Copies of this chain bind each other. A is one copy, B any other.
Amino acid sequence: MSLTLCYFPLKGAAEISRLIFAYTGEKYEDKRITSEEWKAGEKAKSPTGGQPMILLEGGEVYSQSMAIARYLANKFDLAGKSGEEKLHADMVVDAIKSDMAQSLMKAYFEKDEERKTAFAGEAKEKINTMLELLEKNCVKGDGTFLASGTSWADLMFYNFMTDVVPLANASMSAGVTLDATPKLKAIHDKVQENPNIKKWIEARPQTQF
C-alpha cells in the first residue's frame, strides 16, 4: 500500500506535497475530497481538524500541510543533506509561506475594499523585499537554494511563483516578477524544466486555487 494524500479538489496547501511526489516520481494516491465528503465524515479523520491529511502505509493519519511536506521531503531525500542544510531549507520555506504567501492571501481574501488596497500594498512591498533578500542571501547552489542540489525549498518557491503569484498579479496588479532576481529565476526555471514536474503540470487537474 502506498501513501495517500487527501485534500480538497484544489492546489492550495497540498500542492507542495504533490510537487514532491511528482519530482521524485514516488507513487501515491492523490485523493481529492469534496466539501460535502469532508463535512460528511472525512473531517473527523483529521487529527487537527483540517486538510491536507496524509495516510501512511500503517494506517496512521497526520495533518498540517507543512508538516506533511517536510515529512515527504525527509523521506524522499529532498530536505537537505545535513542539519544546517535542513535549517536553510526550512528558513526559505518559512519565508515563502509565512512572509510572502500569507501576506498575499491576507489581501486576496479581505472583503473591505479600503483594507484590501492597503494589504495589497503591504504584500507587494513585503514580497519584493523578500525576493531581494532570498536572491542576495539564500541561494547557495547553482540554480538551487542548497549547495547540495535540489530540495523542497526550490519546489516551494516554484509553487509560490506558479500557483500563488499569478492570482495576485491578475487580481491586485501585484506585478511580481523575477526580472531583478536572476538566481531565483534560475531556481524557478530549473524546477520548471524538470521532466517529472513538466509532466505533472500538464497532467494535474486544472483548478483556480
Give A contacts to B, CB under 8 Å: 47-50, 54, 56, 60, 62-68, 70-71, 74-75, 83-84, 86-88, 90-95, 98-99, 129-130, 133-134, 137-138
Q: How many copies does the complex hold?
A: 2
Grouping DSSP codes into helix (H, G, I), strand (E, B) and loop, the A interface class, with mixed when no group exceeds half, is helix
Given contacts A48-B134, A67-B91, 14 further A-B contacts (CB under 8 A): A47-B91, A47-B133, A47-B138, A48-B92, A48-B137, A48-B138, A49-B130, A62-B87, A64-B91, A64-B98, A65-B94, A67-B90, A71-B84, A74-B86
Q: Nearest residue in B to A94 (C-beta to C-beta)?
A: B64
**Residues in chain B near residue A48, CB distance under 8 A:** 91-92, 94-95, 99, 130, 133-134, 137-138
Complex formed: what's the CA distance from A54 to B83 in Å? 13
Residues in B whose Cβ lies below 8 Å from that of A68: 87, 91
Bound Cα distance A65, B94 (Å): 9
Which B residues are in CB contact (< 8 Å) with A70?
86-87, 90
Whether A56 and B71, one on each chain, are in contact in the complex, defined by CB atoms closer than 8 angstroms, is no
A66 touches B84 (CB 8 A): no
Q: How far is the CA of A46 from the CA of B48 in the complex (A)?
A: 33
Task: Identify which of B60, B86, B90 contacts A64 (C-beta below 8 A).
Answer: B90
A65 vs B60: C-alpha distance in the bound complex, in angstroms? Answer: 29
- Given A48-B95, A66-B94, A129-B49, A60-B84 contact (CB < 8 Å): yes
